[in-house]
C-alpha cells in the first residue's frame, strides 16, 4: 500500500494506512484473526480520519489491493461517508489459490470435517515443506512469524 500512499502524497492528498484483523502485523502482534465483514475494520478508521482537521469529509476515499480489493469493496458498501473506493485485483475466491500448494494428503483432511482439527494442528506444529508461498500463508494464518532470529 505504501506505493499508492507515496503517489497520493506526491499529488497533495492526505493518506492514512492501516492493517486490520487478520493482516500480517495485526495477526502476529495482536492475535486478531481475519474477519470477512471488513466494514467493522473500516468504520473506526473513518471515524478517526474525520477527527483530523486536514481531512475533508466530502472527499474521503479508500483503496484496496489484492485481498484488500475485495475487502475494501465490501466495506464501502456499508460506509456511506466514502466518496470513492478504488479496488485493485480484488480476490473473490481464495480456496483455489490456497489449495494449489497444499499436498494432497493434507488437502484431503479439509474434506473430512473430523480431520480439520488435525490439519490445523499439523500446520501449526511444523513448517510447510517445499512451497515458500504456502509456508508464508500458513504462518500468517497461524500467527507465527516468518522472520527468523540470527542463528536459528
Count of structural domains within the chain: 2
- Answer yes or no: do 35 and 60 share one domain: yes
More confident residue, 54 or 95: 54
Residues classed as catalytic: 66
> Is there a domain that residue 148 lies in?
no
**Burial class for 75, CB neighbours closer than 10 Å (0-12, 13-18, 19+):** buried
d(CA 4, CA 7): 5
> Is there a domain that residue 128 lies in?
yes
DSSP string, 87-144: EES--S--HHHHHTTS-HHHHHHHHSGGGHHHHHHHHHHSPPPS-HHHHHHHHHHHT-
Task: Note if the pTM is more than 0.85.
Answer: no
Question: And the C-alpha cell for 52?
Answer: 483530523
- Answer yes or no: do 81 and 100 share one domain: no
C-beta separation of 53 from 63 below 8 A? no
Decide which of 88, 114, 130 is a domain's last residue. 88
Q: What is the pLDDT of residue 151?
A: 37
The tens digit of pLDDT for each residue in 10-28 reads 988 888 888 888 887 888 8
Q: What is the pLDDT of residue 12?
A: 87
**Domain that includes residue 125, residue range:** 95-142
**Burial class for 131, CB neighbours closer than 10 Å (0-12, 13-18, 19+):** middle
Amino acid at each position: 500500500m505504501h506505493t499508492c500512499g507515496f503517489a497520493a502524497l506526491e499529488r497533495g492528498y492526505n493518506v492514512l494506512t492501516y492493517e486490520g484483523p487478520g493482516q500480517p502485523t495485526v495477526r502476529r502482534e495482536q492475535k486478531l484473526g481475519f474477519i470477512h465483514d471488513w466494514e467493522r475494520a473500516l468504520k473506526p478508521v473513518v471515524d478517526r480520519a474525520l477527527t483530523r482537521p486536514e481531512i475533508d469529509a466530502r472527499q474521503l476515499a479508500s483503496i484496496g489491493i489484492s485481498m484488500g480489493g475485495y475487502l475494501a469493496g465490501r466495506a464501502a458498501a456499508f460506509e456511506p461517508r466514502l466518496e470513492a473506493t478504488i479496488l485493485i485485483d480484488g480476490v473473490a475466491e481464495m480456496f483455489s489459490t490456497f489449495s494449489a500448494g497444499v499436498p494432497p494428503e493434507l488437502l484431503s483432511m479439509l474434506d473430512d470435517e473430523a480431520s480439520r482439527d488435525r490439519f490445523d494442528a499439523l500446520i501449526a506444529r511444523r513448517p510447510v515443506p517445499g512451497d515458500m508461498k504456502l509456508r508464508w500463508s500458513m504462518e500468517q494464518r497461524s500467527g507465527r512469524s516468518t522472520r527468523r532470529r540470527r542463528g536459528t
